[in-house]
Amino acid sequence: MSSVIVPAVMLGVFAGVSVSSALGAVFEGKSAAFGPSNPFYAKSALPFEAPPFDRIKDGDYEPAIEAGMAEELKEIDAIADNSAAPTFENTVVAMEKTGALFQRAMAAFDGVTGANTNPELERVQKELAPKLAAHRDAIYLNTKLFGRVAAVYEARASLKLSPEGLRLVEVRYRDFVHAGANLSDAEKEKLKKLNEEESTLSNGFRSKVLAATKDAAYATTDKAALAGLTAADLSGAEAAAKERKKEGYVLPLQNTTQQPVLSSLSVRATRQAVFDASWTRTERGMRTIRERRLHGWRSCGRRRGNCWGMTAMRVGSSKTRWRRRRRVR
């Protein structure tokens, strides 16, 4: 089962229709371009079902993910609407078997965007962020589905489950509760909107940090400043400069403070310049953006906490701590 979310504003359109069914209809409409020609359409034949990256194009991810969300919501609806009494097999195990297409596409997409993104993939991330949040809510805030999970959880001691099965039931129940399944309908609606807002803020901040890191790359036209680099390193620096339409050489920064290239550069001034660029990469026009994003996160976090009847003890630290005003089972 996935842990994924459609903008909350869409939810009010589907009066009288289950949220998962409504979202499934939306995703189905948007995944019309998905078909057998898409590399994610069927399981990969490679060892360990590794993604066939030689066949995957940037335009393949979005329709596959959209289709995967629609497919998973259909599977979830079938479990939630099952007329048979809830059991470990027809509820918890069945949930584990949902979302195969979605997981195939998302695993590859997350890997590529985390290692080798580009403007097109950035656009897809931006488009999908609130939808993934809505998708997750459509599953974890599904009242009928949670009712079945809770029934299995309450009866777990008498089901003679294996240690693994018992752990799975407890983890899945906890996941639902932590996602807000025990909240009132009004609180759930508030939470959906806040989850969408948080996902948009998070993705926007990630994009800004990525852009700042790219802009902070070290550039020079003096080959001597790069003494110590191998011929392959210099060739790569030249290619990076051409890609950015600059003269000379460019050393792109990794998303770490200590850059791997520092161990090879023999000119101290160059090492200093590269280190300084890395150390201050998110200070280049980012301070105001960062402060605004953090303010948005703080506000969003406080409001999300209020849905559970919690208040922040300390907000803005590396780990926000919460004090409960009332216990959520």
Going by pLDDT thresholds of 50, 70 and 90, the confidence category of residue 287 is low
pLDDT of residue 154: 97
Reported as type and span, the H/E element at residue 322 is: strand 321-324
Full-model pTM: 0.73
CA 76 vs CA 30, 92, 230: distances in Å = 19, 11, 54
pLDDT of residue 308: 58
More confident residue, 97 or 205: 97
pLDDT of residue 329: 36
Three-state SS string over 233-283 comes to HHHHHHHHHHHCCCCCEEECCCCCCCCHHHHCCCCHHHHHHHHHHHHCCCC
End-to-end CA distance of the chain: 23
Percent above pLDDT 70 for the chain: 76
pLDDT above 80 (res 319): no
The whole-number average pLDDT for the span 180-199 is 90
Reported as type and span, the H/E element at residue 321 is: strand 321-324
More confident residue, 161 or 321: 161
pLDDT of residue 88: 98
pLDDT of residue 266: 96
pLDDT above 90 (res 285): no
The whole-number average pLDDT for the span 291-301 is 55
pLDDT of residue 315: 38
pLDDT of residue 14: 33
Burial of 180 (0-12, 13-18, 19+ CB in 10 A): buried
Phi, psi of 116 (to 5 degrees): -155, 60
pLDDT above 60 (res 312): no
pLDDT of residue 269: 96
The amino acid at 314: R
pLDDT of residue 318: 40
pLDDT above 60 (res 22): no
Tokens linked to 238? 């030249």
168-188 pLDDT, tens digit each: 999 999 999 999 999 999 999
Going by pLDDT thresholds of 50, 70 and 90, the confidence category of residue 304 is low
CB 297 within 8 A of CB 198: yes
Reduced DSSP (H G I as helix, E B as strand, rest coil) percent helix, strand, coil of the chain, to 5: 65, 5, 30
CA 235 vs CA 30, 245, 285, 313: distances in Å = 43, 15, 30, 53
Distance CA 216, CA 188 (A): 42
pLDDT of residue 326: 39
